[in-house]
Every structure is written in structure tokens, then in C-alpha cells.
Amino acid sequence: MWIWACRCPIHAAQSSDPRGYLMANHSIIAQGLTYSYGNGSAVSTAVDHVSFEVGEGEIFSYLGPNGAGKSTTVKMLTGQLRPKSGKAMLLGKDIARETNKVQQEIGVAFETTNLYEQMSAVENLKLFADLFGVKADVHALLEKVGLGNRGKERVANFSKGMKQRLMVARALVNNPRILFLDEPTEGLDPVSSESIRSLIREARAGGATVFLTTHDMYEADRLSDRVAFINQGKIVALDTPYKLKQQYGKRLLKVEIENGSGQIEAREITLDHSDTGEQVKHLLESEKVITVHSEEATLEDIFIQITGRGLVG
Ligand SMILES: Nc1ncnc2c1ncn2[C@@H]1O[C@H](COP(=O)(O)OP(=O)(O)OP(=O)(O)O)[C@@H](O)[C@H]1O
Ligand SMILES: [Mg+2]
């Protein structure tokens, strides 16, 4: 378990910019971050010269399949692992050099829960607040993650999803300026997942920058200002979900028509072509159109297009 002693100021809320990624101040700058596990002939590169910048107040999602290098990146960014090469600047400080100072200002929920199982939820949060030297309203935090009435119970009795929500609450104890969440909704039911997503939006509205790892494309799409696709340790695309879809995705009109013999036939018209208007006009004039739906590529489609593999597995 990683804990550190600090005296952390509670940060005043900062104004948030929905176009956070355009803001001049970068909360995170990663330059050529590289990490490999093992040594000698058994060395394997998990993260391979990864570079990106995350703007202040941005929700930045790191999207990739199992083993892509997401957690290894988070561990380097948060000072758990020292990069083999490259560096990460957080809030203007090199995490490898000023680890303690930076850790005072960030909150992290790792993918593996590391809570004190024999203590209650309230005790876990209070302990963390003490370590940070801050006064946190632990009951309000538990309410936020839907554990308001379970605070006195031992964590050992919590379900996986409850522990995960407690991890998120713990990451918020010091009112962090950067919140790192490694697969925060993995294995959670839809209601719990949505409550975590609300917390993420709330943290951002309060001025925090959020670095989120996930292989849930819908989550990344709905939440993120920008998304980085990571595959086999390398960033293969990085942009807003909208621009990624514009660049790689195909927008379609899916049409059902009733043909002369009363059967339903499916037709597709690709949008964004010079003759799309003509095609739609022709269809409406000459066919019996039953339904029309527009469809756009998902981040999963785009990921497959770029890497040849899916986001799951
Ligand atoms: N402690 C370790 N020792 C050796 N290899 C490791 C270790 N941790 C991770 N790896 C390897 O590094 C690569 C990247 O792993 P990482 O945990 O960063 O992936 P991830 O994208 O977080 O995957 P997941 O979606 O499954 O959490 C994988 O090949 C993994 O097997
Ligand atoms: Mg991981």
C-alpha cells in the first residue's frame, strides 16, 4: 500500500473550461515515458515512449485492451514506478524528483483495491485524511459514493463494487488537483458506475483534472474531453472523441424500405459524401421508406480500425 505523510492544502475551486484540453496550463506532461518489466532476456516493454499532455480541468481517458500498458502508465505518473526513460511533469513538478510534494496534490484509485480490510469505511477514510493532514468530511464522501449507511461496517464485508467505490472516495479525501482513476467502474453495476461518473464530472467541475483508464468505450466517449488509444505500450491515436469519429469513423443512414412484394429491405447511405443529399432524395421519392436511423462509428470501431484488435481481451 502506498501512503505518505504530507500537509496538503485544500484547493480552492478553480474555474473549469469545457474545452479544457485547449487551456494553456498542463496538469500532466508525459515525455517519452517508458517502462519494462523483468531483465536480461526476459525483459518486456509495457510502456514504450509515451508522450501526451493533459490540460488543467480536462477529463482525459486512456483507453486500451488488457495488457496495453494503462496501469503501468498510471503507476509512473503517480510515482509508484520510476520510468526507465522519459519523464512526467505533474503540476509543473517532476514526479520522479518531487514525489512527495506531487503526491500531496493528487488522488489515486488503483485498479486493485488496497484498503484496510479490518477497519471500517469511515476509519479507512479518516486514516487517509490524517496522513494527508487534512480535515475531510468523510461522511459526505461516503454519501457521494453511495456508502452513506455502510460507513461503520468492516471493509472485509464489502462487495467488490463497494470496495471500489470506497477507493474512489479515498482518492478524493485530499481534494486532489489531479484525480487518477484506474478502471474505476470495472465490474460495477450500471447504477454504481453512473454514480462514479457523476463524481468524476463533479471533481472536474470543482477544477480537478481527471486521468481515467478504461476499456469501456462508452464511458470514455461520454466522459472525456480527449481520449488516448493505447495498444501494446504505444499511443496509437489521441484526440477528442468527436474528432476521432470524424477522422476515422463512417457516419451512416440506415434505412428500411418496403419493396414491391411487401418485404422489408435494409439500405445504407454513407453520410458526408458529396452525393449523400441526392441519394437521400432519390430514396424518399422512389421507395416506400419505413424507418431511418443515423449511426456513427463507436470508439471501439475506430480502435479496431487502427489496431486490428478490439478493446476487450
Ligand atoms: N508486475 C509486473 N511484472 C511483470 N509484468 C508486468 C507487471 N505488471 C504488468 N506487467 C505486464 O506489462 C504489460 C502492461 O500491463 P498493464 O497492467 O500496464 O496493462 P493494462 O493496460 O493496465 O491492462 P488491464 O486492462 O488488464 O488492467 C502486460 O504485458 C503485463 O503483463
Ligand atoms: Mg490495468
Q: Does ligand 1 have an atom closer than 6 angstroms to the CB of 68?
A: yes
Q: What is the pLDDT of residue 20?
A: 37
- Confidence tier at 187 by pLDDT (50, 70, 90): confident
**Please, what is the Cα angle at 296 between 228 and 18, to 5 degrees?**
50
Residue 49, helix vs strand vs coil: strand
Report the C-alpha gap between 214 and 178 in whole angstroms.
17
Cα–Cα distance between 47 and 72 in angstroms, integer? 7
Asked if residue 37 has its Cβ within 6 Å of ligand 1, the reply is: yes
Predicted confidence band of residue 8 (pLDDT cuts 50, 70, 90): very low
Pick left, alpha or beta for residue 234 (phi over 0 → left; psi -120 to 50 → alpha; otherwise beta).
beta
Q: Is the pLDDT of residue 234 over 90?
A: yes
User: Do 166 and 145 touch, CB atoms closer than 8 A?
Assistant: yes
Determine contact, residues 13/207, Cβ cutoff 8 Å. yes
Q: With 50 as the cut, is the pLDDT of residue 12 above it?
A: no
Decide whether any atom of ligand 1 lies within 6 Å of the 67 Cβ: yes
Please check the confidence at residue 247 and state whether its pLDDT lies above 90: no
Task: Provide the pLDDT confidence category of residue 78 given band limits of 50, 70 and 90.
Answer: very high
Q: What's the whole-number mean pLDDT along residues 80-87?
A: 96
**CA 109 to ligand 2 center in whole angstroms:** 11
Specify the pTM: 0.84
Decide if domain 20-241 falls under CATH 3.30.750.24.
Answer: no
Give phi and psi for 167, each to the nearest 5.
-60, -40
